[in-house]
Amino acid sequence: MSTSLKLLYALVLVALFAAGLLLAKYTPWQGSSAANPGYAHLGGDFVLNSDSGEVRLQDLRGQLVLMYFGFTSCPDVCPTALSTIAASMRQLSPALEAQIQPLFVSVDPDRDTLDNLAKYSAYFHPRMLGVTGDIETLDQLVKNYGAYYRHIPLENSALDYTVDHTSRVYLIGRQGELISTIAHGTSVADMSALIKQHL
């Protein structure tokens, strides 16, 4: 191999190494909005409906909000995520637990009535609120938070359709700012530690 070819290979390796370092530093779905510009354009206030009336994010100032998008007919992902949220809260003292407001946002408003949402959410934790809105409101909300959902038709099924959706917990700070997202499958201990860190 000629010297010039060896030099070219060496330069390519150095460039790849440098690119790897840059990518390792850019993790837009970790950390807080203050430390990570990936959250700067995400989040914001919203108004949704519950069985007891409107739920406004601005009215929850002073509390830590744990928000999850899903639907009550979800066979496994939603129950797992909501159970983890509830178990994580129960790891905390009653005084800290009282400073957290979990929200289950249904992206299936046609099937999830407010009454059913309330019962479903309370099954996981008595403080969890089941909320939803019309499709336009939900579309704007998921866009604002960098989330996703899509109704998928089901052939030969009584359900008619299912919903594909983001399975992350959105951690919203006391001033209404998006702090972080917590990936599906995060352990109860890790989620509880992250929550406690921001209380």
**CATH code assigned to 37-197:** 3.40.30.10
Q: Each residue of 79-93: pLDDT tens digit? A: 999 999 999 999 999
| Residue 68 to residue 103: CA distance in whole angstroms | 6
Q: What's the Cα-to-Cα distance from 48 to each of 59, 61, 66, 127, 138, rounded to whole Å?
A: 12, 16, 15, 16, 9
Report how far apart the first and last C-alpha atoms of the chain are (Å, whole number).
61
In this prediction the pTM is 0.80
Q: Each residue of 114-153: pLDDT tens digit? A: 999 999 999 999 999 999 999 999 999 999 999 999 999 9
